[in-house]
Structure 1
């Protein structure tokens, strides 16, 4: 027997769904189709264009947070390894690592991770939900046909497509904002307490997700609610013999005026989630009034003056705010709304239609509607309220974002529309602005459709045949659809292509990981942007317990790396590296390698390095140079070899006393055979072979081996042993002796080096 209640049993659900579909009209079915298409498009973009995530490294933050939530945690508990596994935008607090973002967006991703094992399902559901809610909102404000067109415009907007397809918080927060807006309007139209409660819950969740975004969206609704409550209270007091306060107290909850009860319920549920937000703050930061983002960067919030995050700071003035946000609005109007300038023009026309209708008839749907075919619900007064609130949302989002420097940061170079995160996702802090633009644009489309219908009727009334009239109108409609479609595709193509280029770069960089199956692996990853996990390599994320099939650790100082190795003594070791320089430019690619490592320990480690030598090399200089070094010997030694063939073999020995070059004596420089001491706690020792041609040009083979001294009673009287991480990091450099990742040696990529380059190294530990 099923444990599910009857209303939730699959057979009953299917019957109920079939009955609803049978009752649905063409507009409702079309709206459902638009929502499904929006979800499918979002999922397709997410798995193709963002297959290895985007250039916005917030994605890694939210996905890591989602994994933590699934594991029942709000933070990593890394202890002494916190610095080695510190994710981007996480705060370190005594070994605890917690994200600077609130958990609601991550929780939405966690749901589909738990149910389907694929967080992109959430992206599709959110996109479909937003399109459906824009339809409902537009239907309530300006009619169902206009709502349908609004849903299409919203779903086709490049900013909605790009932003909804990545693991970012803006589309999920808008989903809750839209639920609030629709439920609020329904509560006003239908005098529904249930809808009022849903509105409060939705805006409360939105506040928990992104407080400032929710406040900006809700501000006009709050003003409207306060006005209605004040008006109802005044009327109630005027109709009562007692004072207004006494009358309200005596009435009790059930006797209160309906607006007071409804908006009070909305406020109550919304305030409950404000309390949840403050409780979360207290749990994470120790103070209910301090948000995690403030702990991470106290000067990163709303406000003017000095704004700062990490090493980046700006004197954010009103003038700079106006310049940045003005540029952002132009970008939305010309690039990021559906069909670019054509879609923006439609929104302006829709606004004019609403204003004209409001003035002429009191109904913002305008004069072009046939009242006999009315498709809108509610009274004209209700629709005036709905459209006024949408205008209020537009004003609130635009004005409110002046006070926040985030848009300025996202735009980067204001003179270059292809620079900054806004070039990939649009001015995403203005994401909610798509809602009023879409609704008014939808009104323009619906008004145009009505005008075409009226034009067809006029043609018929003037003697044209019905067929001719229909063909003429069809030609006009087809032309408009083609123009709008081309404009929409053109607007969306550019950001999709830029994001696809980023993904192609990521796919190439992460290829070794896609080709490797890890079993208890430990991978050291480089730090091109500083000591942060997932910045930039957000595809390489640790699990909640830091104990999954693979653990990622930052490749840092030798002492710190040995601490990680000691914490994971039985794992298979790897080092991730690449040849090239990692930048944000998608055209600048790197060639990756995932190199297996092992730890070799003994009283001594004998190593041999063999390098290739081209023609016309006059001499070679061999040098040992520790990064830190230690007292008790030379800080480096070197010797020169003049008799060269097509290769050169260099022997070197690592002992607890230091690194020695046995070949120095054979080269006629016995002092170069002295051991060079290194820091016994951990050091990186560079062994270089520099080839010099007669003109003085050089080519250097460089290898850096991580070493330390350990204790072991079986290794001689002192019990000292040496441990090395093998193989060393190898690079080949022209004209300089150190060139970083630009010269990374790729043994499996022969085309990455001159054909004469050989760089082989071997080592054996012994007691």
Structure 2
């Protein structure tokens, strides 16, 4: 009795659903605080802005609120990226489940790969191609991030399927369906162009070539008038016209945001970024991108892709090469788009993507270093800029596997000394050998990246725990500038929404006193906090001890600060610094041998220590340094930095002070941040501080 064969469409839908679940869970498990690619925060903040109806943020304090990869233009802050990708993510952001969109995009990509494989071969090759896409290591890792590559591929695949079906429906006598597919395909490629213009062009080139070839053949056969009256020309023109709107919208967006239709936001951010050879620069990173370097980088990247990032690498690559042999199969029937033509188009995508990216210096940057390709983003995620190769690798990999199985079965059947039972035994043995090898290759490809992402995410989760555990009610959090004057870099989760006027919490960069007091004045009705940590934040997962400190702004005619520190050797010097001036004083012999107390005052015109004073005018940082010399000559310095704003009649103080314990230097940044009870310090280290304000009997510790 023959069992009914399962419906291939149902199996394909199940694989697409599984892809969505896998990517959703991967995003939650591996990237709970987003990934090490800090572009994610850019797109998510842009999504929040679009939901507020804004293309840019407006603030009188752009230096305090400038996010990573945003252009500062007067009081405006706008992202260097076009809004299409952010628009894709916006529904998830609005629902409060952003990763839901990642799942939908992943499911769509797997389904579309399967449907395109059906167009090129038949239904079960389509199912197998979808399985190949799902099993491709870089698919899950890149799809689980809020980056533009998977969404742009979704748009490109939609364009390809609609283009093919438009012509095939016309051949089948369904002109209305054909026209609808043509329009949908044009819109899809327009959106893809807005998202990533160069990526969209590289993907579309084979289809543009096919359209021109089709029109050229009809021109030679029927002349201009008859050609452009033909239904096929109408469909191609609809695709072209709809696609051209993407160019128009992109130029219009440029004109609105940058003031010049031909100036892209990424060029406004970094004029020497982008396509082409020669000198290239992005912020503090620059290279002379020569054709030789470009070719070397891309060959290295493609080799890494072929040997590490395909299904059961390099098996997936070898199967795709076998599948390419189907380009020679069969004769071309009298049809607008025959199966063989579809295969040629999909193979053409592989060619244009691989060759075209030689012209883009991002292909070099994604490697990290040519000497160790596993060091950069390529080693952790796979080929960002070659994500569209998922289509030809999956389709031809599936075709290659089916071809190998078919020929293997034929070879076994042709062996007269093997009966049916022996053939089945040989097949089972081959499967039992192949499956562990394939699984081992998959594990080997993913093991390193997953371990790195898990370690990095744990690092971020521990660092951000104080903020995650706190319930804010109209707060402002000052965030340290770990990697320069940016928000969301590296702390992508600490980003503002679509407005700088609302929200339970706003994040601002912890800058100099003038900048911080400007934020204090602009948000005087909010509670202030300082996010800090003990340790040095680096590109790798180095452990830090975090803290969230509530701040107060004390205002009065005069403030007195008493700081008592633990003795850790011979007291060498006590200094008070402000505005480049220094007051030093001999140690007070009245202090207990085990501690030393420094008492200083600040008013609206001066900071005083003992009988000496330093004039103040406006916002300034007052630093107090107590240095001990230990046996062997090593030094340990207690450092306290206090932001003050002297206005003549009164003075404001941000409290508590930032306290550090520095070894062998007097200024050690966050590496020496003092957090009472946190971390290991030299024996005897302790800090107690009190602030008293004239006319106010309370003291702040």
Q: Shorter-chain TM-score: which interval? A: over 0.9
Q: 1:269-307, CA deviations, whole angstroms, 9 ceiling, x for partnerless residues?
A: 111222111211111111222211111112111111111
* Partners of 1:307 and 1:194 in 2: CA distance: 43
Q: Does 1:85 find its partner at 2:41? A: no
Aligned equivalent of 2:507: 552
Aligned equivalent of 2:373: 417
Local SS of the residue matching 1:636:
strand
* Partners of 1:695 and 1:389 in 2: CA distance: 74
Q: Does 1:101 find its partner at 2:68? A: no
Aligned equivalent of 2:626: 689
Q: Give yes or no for contact 2:42–2:79 (8 Å, CA) kept in 1.
A: yes
* Partners of 1:40 and 1:489 in 2: CA distance: 19
Mapping 1:226-305, distance limit 5 Å? 226-237=212-223, 244-245=224-225, 256-305=229-278
* Partners of 2:109 and 2:118 in 1: CA distance: 14
Local SS of the residue matching 1:314:
strand
Aligned equivalent of 2:10: 29
* Partners of 2:30 and 2:406 in 1: CA distance: 38
Q: Give yes or no for contact 1:657–1:675 (8 Å, CA) kept in 2.
A: no
Shift of the 475–695 alpha-carbon distance from structure 1 to 2, 3 Å rule, reads: closer
Shift of the 580–235 alpha-carbon distance from structure 1 to 2, 3 Å rule, reads: same
Aligned equivalent of 1:534: 488
* Partners of 1:344 and 1:88 in 2: CA distance: 37
Aligned equivalent of 2:534: 579
Mapping 1:35-74, distance limit 5 Å? 35-74=16-55
CA RMSD of aligned residues (A): 2.1
Shift of the 378–638 alpha-carbon distance from structure 1 to 2, 3 Å rule, reads: farther
Structure 2 gap segments, 5+ residues each: 171-177, 696-701
What is the aligned counterpart of 1:675 among 604, 613, 617? 613
Aligned equivalent of 2:651: 722
Structure 1 gap segments, 5+ residues each: 1-22, 238-243, 364-376, 663-672, 712-719
Aligned equivalent of 1:14: none
Deviation at 1:568, TM superposition (A): 0.6
Local SS of the residue matching 2:615:
coil
What is the aligned counterpart of 2:680 among 752, 756, 766? 752
Local SS of the residue matching 1:301:
coil
* Partners of 2:403 and 2:107 in 1: CA distance: 25
Mapping 1:180-219, distance limit 5 Å? 180-191=159-170, 192-219=178-205
Taking structure 2 as the reference length, the TM-score comes to: 0.93
Aligned equivalent of 1:8: none
Taking structure 1 as the reference length, the TM-score comes to: 0.86
Aligned equivalent of 1:761: 689
Local SS of the residue matching 1:682:
strand
Deviation at 1:220, TM superposition (A): 0.9
Deviation at 1:620, TM superposition (A): 4.2
* Partners of 1:107 and 1:60 in 2: CA distance: 14
* Partners of 1:145 and 1:659 in 2: CA distance: 81
* Partners of 2:235 and 2:443 in 1: CA distance: 44
* Partners of 1:378 and 1:76 in 2: CA distance: 56
Deviation at 1:222, TM superposition (A): 0.3
Q: Give yes or no for contact 1:407–1:429 (8 Å, CA) kept in 2.
A: yes
* Partners of 1:24 and 1:703 in 2: CA distance: 76
Q: Give yes or no for contact 2:367–2:374 (8 Å, CA) kept in 1.
A: no
Deviation at 1:193, TM superposition (A): 2.1
What is the aligned counterpart of 2:552 among 598, 602, 608? 598
Aligned equivalent of 1:625: 577
Q: Give yes or no for contact 2:476–2:508 (8 Å, CA) kept in 1.
A: yes
Aligned equivalent of 2:604: 656
Q: 1:364-397, CA deviations, whole angstroms, 9 ceiling, x for partnerless residues?
A: xxxxxxxxxxxxx997971111111112111111
Q: Give yes or no for contact 2:412–2:418 (8 Å, CA) kept in 1.
A: no
Deviation at 1:449, TM superposition (A): 3.1
Deviation at 1:462, TM superposition (A): 5.8
Q: Does 1:561 find its partner at 2:509? A: no
Deviation at 1:205, TM superposition (A): 0.8
Aligned equivalent of 2:440: 486
Name the larger-Rg structure: 1
